[in-house]
Amino acid sequence: MIGALVLRALDRGAIAFLATLAAIAVLVPVLNLALPPTSPFHLSSYFVALFGKYVCLALLALSVDLIWGYCGILSLGHGAFFALGGYAMGMYLMRQIGTRGVYAHPVLPDFMVFLNWPELPVYWYGFQHFAYAAFMVVFVPGVLAFVFGWFAFRSRVTGVYLSIITQALTFALMLGFFRNNFGFGGNNGLTDFKDILGFNVQAPSTRAALFVSSMLALMLGFIICRVVVSSKFGKVLVAIRDAEARTRFLGYRVEAYKLFVFTLSACMAGVAGALYVPQVGIINPSEFSPGNSIEAVIWVAVGGRGTLTGAVLGAVLVNYGKTYFTSGVLAPYWLFVLGGLFVAVTLLLPRGIVGTIHYHWREWRERRRLAAPVPNAAPRPAE
C-alpha cells in the first residue's frame, strides 16, 4: 500500500531528481576515496564535509518548504528544531568521548567537570546509546513542535503573528542554551567530538559515510514530502494555504492538518541538525539565533517556494554563495548580498528559480496545446 502511495507520488521529474541525488551520493565518496590525491578529479575531504553540510541544510530547507510552501505557515523558528536535533546528536557524541577528554572523566563531559557538576543530569541519561540519541533527535523537536503548534493553531494564531511567535520561541531557546546551568555547555556548546558509532569522526571514510547518510536522509525526506503533498492530504494543505477560512467552512479540521505537517517538518529539521553536527564538529547556541531560521526561509524563496526541488537547490546555491563570499576578500559584502537577495527575490522573483522555470514551461506547453486543435483544454490549476 505504501509502495503504491510512493509510486504515485513520484512523477517523472521527482524520479529524475532522486536519480541525480543518488548519482551525487555515489560519485562524491568515490571521487574522494577511490582516486589518489594527485588525480585531477580527486575531491578533498574538506569538500566532502562542505557538501555534507549543504545537504543537511537542504533537508532543513525542505522541511521549511513543506510548511511554508504548501501550508502557508511561515516559521521563523525552524532553526530551533534543527539545533535541538543537533544538540541531541551532540550529546551522544559527547558521551562517546569518554576518558579521552581533557579531564579524563569517565562519565561527565569536560564542561561539566569544569563547572563542578557533581554528576550527570537526568536528561543526559541514555545518550551513550546511539539508538536512544537517534530517537531523541526526532522526538524532542517533534514534541516541542506538537506542543507549540497545538497551542498556536488551536487559538488560530496565523500569518505574521505566528512568524513572530516562532521567532520568539527560538530566541528564548537561544537565551536558555547560552546559560551554563542549563547543562548544555553554555556558549561554547558541545564540541571536540571523537567517535561516532566507534568510527573516528575526522577520518575520511567516516566523513564519506556521513555524506552518504545525509544524502539518503535528504532523499527520504524528499520522498516523504512528495507523498504528503501529492496525496489528498496535501491538496487540503494547499487549500489551507490559499484560503484558510474557506477550508474550515468546508468542514476540514484545519488545526489538525497544520499540526501534523508542522510536527513532521520539525522532525525532519531535527534529523537535518543531527547529521549536520558530526560533519561540522560543533553545536552551540548561536544555531538558535533567529537570523539562521530566517536565512533558511530565504533558501526556499530563492529556489522556489512550493517546489520541493527548488528548496534543495536554493539551499545549496545560497550556501555555496555564502562559502564563496565569506572565505575571501569579499567577506564584508556577504551581508549586502544576502540582504539584497531577500529584497530582490521577494520583489522580482516571487516564484523562485525553479518556480519560474516551471511557470514558463507550463505556459509554453499550454500555448502549444492551444495552438493544436484540441477542444476542452484543461483549466490551468490554481497557484
Q: Which residues bind another protein (CB under 8 A)?
A: 74, 76, 148, 151-152, 154-157, 159-161, 163-165, 167-169, 171-172, 175-176, 178-179, 245, 290, 294, 297-298, 301, 332-333, 335-336, 338-343, 345-347, 350
Minimum distance from residue 109 beta carbon to another protein (Å):
22
Minimum distance from residue 54 beta carbon to another protein (Å):
21
Pick 275 or 301: Cβ nearer another protein: 301
Pick 95 or 258: Cβ nearer another protein: 258
Provide the strand spans (E) within 211-321.
282-283
Pick 333 or 364: Cβ nearer another protein: 333
Pick 28 or 73: Cβ nearer another protein: 73
**Side chain identity, residue 238:** V
For helices 290-303 and 45-71, give the axis angle rounded to 10 degrees.
80
Minimum distance from residue 296 beta carbon to another protein (Å):
11
Minimum distance from residue 211 beta carbon to another protein (Å):
30
Burial class (CB in 10 A: 0-12, 13-18, 19+), 171: middle
C-alpha cell at 243: 484560503
Distance from C-alpha of 287 to C-alpha of 257, rounded to nearest angstrom: 28
Minimum distance from residue 50 beta carbon to another protein (Å):
23
Minimum distance from residue 141 beta carbon to another protein (Å):
17
What sign has the CA pseudo-torsion 241, 243, 248, 250?
Answer: negative
Distance from C-alpha of 323 to C-alpha of 259, rounded to nearest angstrom: 35
Pick 283 or 296: Cβ nearer another protein: 296
Distance from C-alpha of 318 to C-alpha of 335, rounded to nearest angstrom: 12
Pick 179 or 365: Cβ nearer another protein: 179
Provide the strand spans (E) within the chain.
190-191, 195-196, 199-200, 282-283
For helices 12-33 and 45-71, give the axis angle rounded to 10 degrees.
160
Contact 299, 311 (CB under 8 A): yes
